[in-house]
Chains A and B, each alone.
Chain A
Amino acid sequence: MSKSLHELWQARHFIKNSIRNEFVTRVVRSRLGLLWIVLFPLAQVVIYAFVLSMVMAAKLPGLNSAYAYPIYLTAGILAWTLFQEIVTRCLNVFIEHGNLLKKMVFPRMALPAIVCGSALLNNLVLLVSVLLIFALLGHTPDIHLLWLPVLTVLLMALALGLGLALGLLNVFFRDIGQVVTIVLQFGFWLTPVVYNVSVVPEQYRYWLHFNPMTGLVQGYQSILVYGSAPDFSLLVYPAVFAVVALLVAAFLYNRAIDEVVDVL
């Protein structure tokens, strides 16, 4: 493990360059470039806001701004897009780079590192635009915003652990790629992104917290919507989950990576 980390450190320039390249090439060839990173999640916000605001607006406790619901939605989607991007890209990262893995010697952990870095960069662009839009709507987050990096790191650890473990398995069981796409769709609705936990009937609320993303998304909402520190008791479970997922991923990686190259 420490060897892998050392290799990663050696490859830091390569990783940095790759993240920049990915970003640049994404921006360079399409006219709207940078805007697309922001437009897709914001389109989601608009759709849900439009469809659900009638149902939901009244039920957001503690908020009375007209834009409360779109802001609430945006906070959740900010978290969810990062999670989804890392998981789905890690899922295919080994398959996509099969030829490279077979024919070149390079630190293999650089691949998921690039995925994470790239996703984080996209997310930062989104965050900045979101904060700008919030400011335009007269909603400025306070000092508690400083908690956001903590949540982001936790969220990335969770996504990386899950994505890497599933990505390794996906090489052998290609169905996993399909299944995960569906599970992620359910996951989105099983996470309080478009709704608030308080609207869920009491007896089911407990189940919602088996989803490790629930606590994290609620944390994002505390910071960005309510301007308060996240509820740390809600973060214990996601943190434990993330550590376990990372350990499982590391175990699978050690056992399977040679065979991954064999079967690719």
Chain B
Amino acid sequence: MTPALSVEGIGKAFNKYARETQRLLAWFGIASSSVERKWVLQDINFALRPGEAVGLIGLNGAGKSTLLKIITGTLHPTTGKVNINGRVSAILELGMGFHPDLTGRQNVYHVAGLMGFTQKQIDGFIDDVHAFSEIGDYFEHPVRVYSSGMQARLAFAVATAQRPEILIVDEALSVGDAYFQHKSFDRIRQFTREGTTLLLVSHDKQAIQSICNRAILLSHGTVAMEGEPDAVMDYYNALLAAHQDQQIINNPERSGALLSGTGSASFSRFELSDENGESIEVVDVGQKLTLRVDARIRTQLPDLVLGFLIKDRYGQDVFGTNTRHLDQVCYDIEADSDLSWSFTFPVNLGPGTYSITVALHGHAGHIESNYAWQERAVLFEVINRSHSEFIGVSWLGAQLESRRNHD
């Protein structure tokens, strides 16, 4: 069977010239020696069978968007070629080409025209678009008065007005309310059932696993792995962990995360490790974890308490304690001394990502004497490898005993 979409030896290099005039000369065939070629994609090969749904994942900067643009046809590959059988519809960004002053209806004509539909075709599906977008009377109002959710609905409705043979979706679908997200995913699912080949980029594990029957992992511009979505997702998580580890080394200040305090004390190291003392970032439910915090005390302090607080990805407090609650307050610390603490606890948490905030403060509390406070000092992800499936933020290890009585 001929593939619906195949990518053969795709490579993309962005040329960087020392001077733009050299670029100009290059167009006239005068090559210059000082071209710096930056390869963002190299030797990408894969093929999608008709009706297949494939997820494309990768860290930021792995080249996903560039690859999608090349497949869609807006970017020209430096090497290799893309073969496409059928009509492609690409949703790389919702709301492209919308004009704020035009009404919803006019915008549908405008954007669908941009997508290459004829007037007649648009006449044929405009009512469906209106119905699917569920924006009611707003359809006749200018788009500038729409809420962003309404704009996203309309944009998605236009982009998927007709079932394409090949649908390419970038992370555009994370907009809008939950209801509409479901509705749009249902439509995509229905398309794939009817035979549309899907290429989906997402960071959302759930989305990839529920829709796709195959996943491709892109890393540093090459295909790092290809296979079952579950296996690829696991590998991706491991890669994510390694990536974060590096960032800790590169960037101990954790740019963007709040660091406050009087400066009497400063953190020198945060580390999460497993039972063997190996540093980790991806943790199994129930696994024992050790949080180690090293700090340097700069001025003499009468008393010192270290506290930590685990927050989930919505910033909700999950668990927190400190050395005062655990009866190990340090007293009379001399200037220029180094201290270190290790908390060990089982990660009885539900799957998801969590952050740990760490603070050094006086005995009385962190409001009066806050020596150092680091938001998001460490991040870790909990995955469920060894337990039966459960939902929620905590693992309570429920036991089940079932009885059946009959006379």
The finding on whether chains A and B are genuine partners in a shared complex, rather than unrelated, reads yes
Residues of A participating in the B interface, judged by any CB pair closer than 8 Å? 10-11, 13-14, 17-18, 21, 24-25, 28-29, 99-106, 169, 172-173, 252, 255-256, 258-259, 261-263
Please determine whether A105 and B73 come into contact, CB atoms closer than 8 angstroms. Answer: yes
Please determine whether B27 and A104 come into contact, CB atoms closer than 8 angstroms. Answer: no
Apart from A104-B74, A104-B90, 10 more pairs, CB < 8 Å: A18-B113, A28-B101, A100-B96, A100-B114, A103-B72, A104-B97, A104-B115, A105-B73, A258-B75, A258-B76
- B69's partner among A13, A102, A255, A256 (CB-CB below 8 A) is A102
Please determine whether B106 and A21 come into contact, CB atoms closer than 8 angstroms. Answer: yes
Set of chain B residues within 8 Å of A24, measured between Cβ atoms: 102
Tell me the nearest residue of chain A to B23, going by C-beta.
A172
| 24 A–B contacts, CB within 8 A, in A order | A17-B109, A17-B113, A18-B110, A21-B102, A25-B101, A25-B102, A29-B101, A99-B96, A102-B69, A102-B75, A103-B69, A103-B90, A103-B92, A103-B96, A104-B74, A105-B90, A172-B20, A252-B27, A256-B27, A258-B76, A259-B23, A261-B74, A261-B76, A262-B15
B60 within 8 A of A: no
Set of chain B residues within 8 Å of A172, measured between Cβ atoms: 20, 23-24
Set of chain B residues within 8 Å of A252, measured between Cβ atoms: 27
* Min CB–CB distance B192 → chain A (angstroms): 22
Please determine whether B116 and A106 come into contact, CB atoms closer than 8 angstroms. Answer: yes
Give bound CA distance, A101 to B110, whole Å. 16
What is the number of contacts between chain A and chain B, taking CB atoms within 8 Å?
75
Chain A CB within 10 Å, residue with most, of B14, B96, B110, B114? B114
Contact with A along B115-131 (1 / 0, CB 8 A): 11011000000000000
Chain A CB within 10 Å, residue with most, of B15, B96, B110, B113? B113
Give bound CA distance, A196 to B99, whole Å. 44
Given A25-B102, A100-B97, decide whether A106 and B114 contact each other with a Cβ distance below 8 A. Answer: yes
Set of chain B residues within 8 Å of A29, measured between Cβ atoms: 101
Please determine whether A21 and B99 come into contact, CB atoms closer than 8 angstroms. Answer: yes
Give bound CA distance, A259 to B27, whole Å. 10
Please determine whether B27 and A103 come into contact, CB atoms closer than 8 angstroms. Answer: no
Given A17-B110, A21-B110, decide whether A105 and B99 contact each other with a Cβ distance below 8 A. Answer: no
Set of chain B residues within 8 Å of A259, measured between Cβ atoms: 15, 23
Residues of B participating in the A interface, judged by any CB pair closer than 8 Å? 14-15, 20, 23-24, 27, 69, 72-76, 88, 90, 92-93, 96-97, 99, 101-102, 106, 109-110, 113-116, 118-119
Please determine whether A173 and B92 come into contact, CB atoms closer than 8 angstroms. Answer: no
Set of chain B residues within 8 Å of A11, measured between Cβ atoms: 113, 116
Please determine whether A99 and B93 come into contact, CB atoms closer than 8 angstroms. Answer: yes
Give bound CA distance, A172 to B24, whole Å. 9
Please determine whether A261 and B75 come into contact, CB atoms closer than 8 angstroms. Answer: yes
Tell me the nearest residue of chain B to A110, going by C-beta.
B114
Given A25-B99, A25-B101, A173-B20, decide whether A104 and B75 contact each other with a Cβ distance below 8 A. Answer: no
Set of chain B residues within 8 Å of A18, measured between Cβ atoms: 110, 113
Set of chain A residues within 8 Å of B97, measured between Cβ atoms: 100, 104
Please determine whether B74 and A102 come into contact, CB atoms closer than 8 angstroms. Answer: yes
Give bound CA distance, A173 to B17, whole Å. 12
* Min CB–CB distance B93 → chain A (angstroms): 5
- B118's partner among A13, A101, A261 (CB-CB below 8 A) is A13
A-B pairs with lowest CB-CB distance, top 10: A14-B113, A258-B76, A255-B27, A25-B101, A103-B92, A105-B73, A172-B20, A13-B119, A106-B114, A103-B93
Given A13-B119, A17-B110, A252-B27, decide whether A103 and B74 contact each other with a Cβ distance below 8 A. Answer: yes
Set of chain B residues within 8 Å of A262, measured between Cβ atoms: 14-15, 75
Please determine whether A10 and B113 come into contact, CB atoms closer than 8 angstroms. Answer: no
Please determine whether A101 and B119 come into contact, CB atoms closer than 8 angstroms. Answer: no
Give bound CA distance, A259 to B102, whole Å. 32
Set of chain A residues within 8 Å of B106, measured between Cβ atoms: 21
Tell me the nearest residue of chain A to B112, going by C-beta.
A14
Give bound CA distance, A24 to B69, whole Å. 32
Set of chain A residues within 8 Å of B113, measured between Cβ atoms: 11, 13-14, 17-18
- A104's partner among B20, B23, B92 (CB-CB below 8 A) is B92
Give bound CA distance, A173 to B27, whole Å. 15
Give bound CA distance, A169 to B23, whole Å. 10
* Min CB–CB distance A115 → chain B (angstroms): 15
Set of chain A residues within 8 Å of B118, measured between Cβ atoms: 13
Set of chain A residues within 8 Å of B73, measured between Cβ atoms: 105
Set of chain A residues within 8 Å of B101, measured between Cβ atoms: 25, 28-29
Tell me the nearest residue of chain A to B91, going by C-beta.
A103
Please determine whether A105 and B23 come into contact, CB atoms closer than 8 angstroms. Answer: no
Given A99-B96, A261-B74, decide whether A104 and B24 contact each other with a Cβ distance below 8 A. Answer: no
Please determine whether B27 and A101 come into contact, CB atoms closer than 8 angstroms. Answer: no
Tell me the nearest residue of chain B to A26, going by C-beta.
B101
Set of chain A residues within 8 Å of B20, measured between Cβ atoms: 172-173
Please determine whether A10 and B14 come into contact, CB atoms closer than 8 angstroms. Answer: no
Tell me the nearest residue of chain A to B107, going by C-beta.
A21
Set of chain A residues within 8 Å of B109, measured between Cβ atoms: 17
Given A14-B114, A172-B23, A262-B14, decide whether A104 and B96 contact each other with a Cβ distance below 8 A. Answer: yes
Set of chain B residues within 8 Å of A21, measured between Cβ atoms: 99, 102, 106, 110
Give bound CA distance, A100 to B99, whole Å. 12
Give bound CA distance, A47 to B119, whole Å. 45
Give bound CA distance, A142 to B397, whole Å. 96
Set of chain A residues within 8 Å of B14, measured between Cβ atoms: 262-263
Give bound CA distance, A3 to B72, whole Å. 18
Give bound CA distance, A24 to B142, whole Å. 12
Set of chain A residues within 8 Å of B74, measured between Cβ atoms: 101-105, 261
* Min CB–CB distance A12 → chain B (angstroms): 10
Set of chain A residues within 8 Å of B76, measured between Cβ atoms: 258, 261
Please determine whether B114 and A104 come into contact, CB atoms closer than 8 angstroms. Answer: yes
Set of chain A residues within 8 Å of B99, measured between Cβ atoms: 21, 25
Tell me the nearest residue of chain A to B120, going by C-beta.
A13
Chain B CB within 10 Å, residue with most, of A14, A25, A28, A169? A14
Set of chain B residues within 8 Å of A106, measured between Cβ atoms: 114-116
Tell me the nearest residue of chain A to B69, going by C-beta.
A102
Please determine whether A105 and B93 come into contact, CB atoms closer than 8 angstroms. Answer: no
* Min CB–CB distance B392 → chain A (angstroms): 39
